[in-house]
Chain A
Amino acid sequence: MENIVLRVKNIDVYYKGLQALWNVSLELKEGKIVSIIGSNGSGKSTLLNAISGLLPLTCGTIELFGERIDGLAPHEIVSRGISLVPEGRRVFPRLTTYENLFIGSYPLKSRSTKNKLIDRLYEVFPILKERQNQKARFLSGGEQQILAIARALMSNPTLILCDEISLGLAPLIIKEIYFQLRRINQEGNSIVLVEQDIKRSLKMSSQAYILLGGRVVLEGDPTHFTEDQVKKAYFGI
């Protein structure tokens, strides 16, 4: 039987005083990719922020390997193995590439593990090694996105949440990033993918949830979705 990594059960979340998620549930099996799609303002980012502990739940529970993590502070959730690649990259602009990665491993205690991880990521993403002493704000958008992903991997997570990682990037770079993401997944990490690029993310994932107005309107194996179903769920018509 496959382990359930993440189980979100009937959560309600408010964002800036308005209810942004209504009774949302989600499950992710170990080693799988699940994608969450929906138009702008449908609550995708809110869902990821709630899982990371940045937003409080008003109702429902979130479990990681059967243990409740809702109500914990973000830094405690990271140390339990959930890492978020936030929307808009949010690299530390005045820190160098190396320092960004180094800070990413904050939950780990051993310095040698940190350095080993950095070396491994330099192998996977050679561009980061080239840019290691440059401040992150001088990196191109694609490089910053790669850095944001690598930084999220530095905490040695079991579950990675990716929030619109292809936003504003050139198609070639997007291809590269998704190639690496698949590799990361093959190494055993489970991934929650939030994307605007519906085709790409449905193709990659074994399970998909379509959000509309803060509610799950369609869920299941994306290979079984018909185009009409997806359109209807996405646009609500």
Chain B
Amino acid sequence: MDSSEGAVGSILEWEGVLMENFYQLILNGVLLGGLYATIAMGLSTILGIVKVINLAHGDLMILGSYLSFVFMHWIGVNPFWTFFLVIPAMFFIGFFIQSLILNRVVGKGMEPSLILTFGLSIIIQNSLLLFFTPDSRSLMTPLSVKTIPITEFLNIPLLYLVNFFVALGAIFILHLIFQKTYLGRAIRAASDDEIAAKLMGINTKRIYAFAMGIAMMTAGVAGVLVGMAFLFYPHTGPQYLIIAFGVMVIGGLGSMKGTFIGGLILALSQLIGAQLLGIGNQLLCGYIVLLIVLAIRPQGVFGEG
């Protein structure tokens, strides 16, 4: 009698563990989704405004990680403080990439800018390789291993939580910049109708440079966050570019809300897929969901018709 009771009890307990395991999965997915959204934000912004697919987006993001790495060791601070240096640095990098390189091919179709950004991607990867060697790096913080226990089996990884809120904050600030500031309105006007914007006295090329600067600021944020959560190498960029593409396609172009939801969907489908089908199928599951979204709603969840 005793033994059977014990068995029932342990089965119930085991179900509880399974449920909590499931909650943990959802929680991790949501938190990771915020990070994915931050990674995709800059790519989506630039495609929406300048009509350029920035194939170097992932590499520029990793450049942000390395910048943080350099500042961290140079000044000897927690990677969080490097935000204050990485974000402005990335703004200038973006501004000059657009004004010195990409503005030359704006309005000349997709191909020239694709080739340019592809070249940029290769240059950045190999420069990083030259300066930093192929060794893996990470931005260690005391947060990396801390968790907030909620129940016996359910924990919130603190770093992921911080990442999530920084990501939310970045999305919110980006939204404010575009909706409320004069620059943001000019950027939206130029993306609506470039010729009309010129006729209003807007120097559209300068505006594009600002837009790229802002997009790279978000890439810098993403770079630091990614660097704190994962290892990175000079060649990690394209991996994140693909994630950014997935988020952008799922969420729909030109919508902050879409980018955020797209990040959540991709991260959740990857993590749930990994749980159900094994860790090796994590990426596959992400792409299957991507294909399903493409089949049902090609413009993305929040995309405009």
- Enumerate chain A interface residues (CB-CB to B < 8 A): 52, 54, 73-75, 78-79, 83-84, 86, 90-95, 99-100, 102-104, 106-107, 151-152, 155
Closest beta carbon of chain B to A98's beta carbon, Å? 10
- Interface size class, chain B: 10 to 19
For B200, give its contact among A54, A93, A94, A106 (CB under 8 Å).
Answer: A106
Tell me, yes or no, whether B70 is within 8 Å of chain A by CB.
no
- Whether A103 lies near B199 (C-beta < 8 A) is no
Q: Which residues of chain B are near A84, meaning CB under 8 Å?
A: 199
Q: Which residues of chain B are near A78, meaning CB under 8 Å?
A: 199-201
Q: Which residues of chain B are near A79, meaning CB under 8 Å?
A: 201
Interface residues of B in 176-223 (CB under 8 A from A): 182, 185-186, 188-189, 192-193, 195-204
With most chain A CB atoms within 10 A of its CB, the pick from B198, B199, B202 is B199
With A92-B188, A95-B188, A99-B185 already in contact, the answer to whether A106 and B193 are too (CB < 8 A) is no
- Whether B195 lies near A75 (C-beta < 8 A) is no
With most chain B CB atoms within 10 A of its CB, the pick from A90, A93, A106 is A106
Q: Which residues of chain A are near B197, meaning CB under 8 Å?
A: 92, 103
- Whether A91 lies near B188 (C-beta < 8 A) is no
Q: Considering the complex, give the chain B residue whose CB is closest to the CB of A74.
A: B198
Closest beta carbon of chain B to A189's beta carbon, Å? 16
Bound-state Cα–Cα, A107 to B198, Å: 11
Closest beta carbon of chain B to A102's beta carbon, Å? 6
Q: Which residues of chain B are near A95, meaning CB under 8 Å?
A: 185, 188-189, 192
- Whether A103 lies near B195 (C-beta < 8 A) is no
Bound-state Cα–Cα, A83 to B192, Å: 19
Bound-state Cα–Cα, A90 to B186, Å: 15
- Whether A103 lies near B186 (C-beta < 8 A) is yes
Bound-state Cα–Cα, A84 to B182, Å: 22
With A75-B203, A103-B189 already in contact, the answer to whether A92 and B198 are too (CB < 8 A) is no
- Whether B199 lies near A86 (C-beta < 8 A) is yes
Closest beta carbon of chain B to A91's beta carbon, Å? 7
- Whether A90 lies near B196 (C-beta < 8 A) is yes
Bound-state Cα–Cα, A102 to B195, Å: 17
- Whether B188 lies near A75 (C-beta < 8 A) is no
Bound-state Cα–Cα, A92 to B185, Å: 10
With A102-B185, A103-B197 already in contact, the answer to whether A75 and B202 are too (CB < 8 A) is yes
Bound-state Cα–Cα, A74 to B201, Å: 7
Closest beta carbon of chain A to B218's beta carbon, Å? 21
Bound-state Cα–Cα, A172 to B109, Å: 42
Closest beta carbon of chain A to B187's beta carbon, Å? 10
Closest beta carbon of chain B to A37's beta carbon, Å? 22
Bound-state Cα–Cα, A155 to B198, Å: 12
Besides A103-B200, A106-B202, 18 new A-B residue pairs in contact (Cβ under 8 A), listed by A number: A54-B198, A74-B199, A74-B201, A75-B201, A75-B204, A79-B201, A86-B195, A86-B196, A86-B199, A90-B196, A92-B192, A92-B196, A94-B192, A99-B188, A99-B189, A102-B185, A106-B186, A155-B200
Q: Which residues of chain A are near B196, meaning CB under 8 Å?
A: 86, 90-92
Closest 6 A/B residue pairs (Cβ): A78-B201, A107-B201, A90-B196, A74-B198, A92-B192, A106-B201
7 of the cross-chain contacts (CB-CB < 8 Å) are A73-B203, A75-B202, A75-B203, A86-B195, A103-B189, A103-B202, A106-B201
Q: Mark B55-69, 1 if CB is under 8 A from A, else 0.
A: 000000000000000
Bound-state Cα–Cα, A100 to B198, Å: 13
Bound-state Cα–Cα, A152 to B188, Å: 18
Q: Which residues of chain A are near B203, meaning CB under 8 Å?
A: 73, 75
- Whether A90 lies near B195 (C-beta < 8 A) is yes
Interface residues of B in 43-79 (CB under 8 A from A): none
Bound-state Cα–Cα, A84 to B200, Å: 8
Bound-state Cα–Cα, A75 to B206, Å: 11
Q: Which residues of chain A are near B204, meaning CB under 8 Å?
A: 75
Bound-state Cα–Cα, A104 to B186, Å: 10
Q: Which residues of chain B are near A91, meaning CB under 8 Å?
A: 196
Q: Which residues of chain A are near B192, meaning CB under 8 Å?
A: 92-95
Q: Considering the complex, give the chain B residue whose CB is closest to the CB of A83.
A: B199
Closest beta carbon of chain B to A52's beta carbon, Å? 6
With A93-B192, A95-B189 already in contact, the answer to whether A151 and B200 are too (CB < 8 A) is yes
Q: Which residues of chain B are near A107, meaning CB under 8 Å?
A: 201
Closest beta carbon of chain B to A196's beta carbon, Å? 21
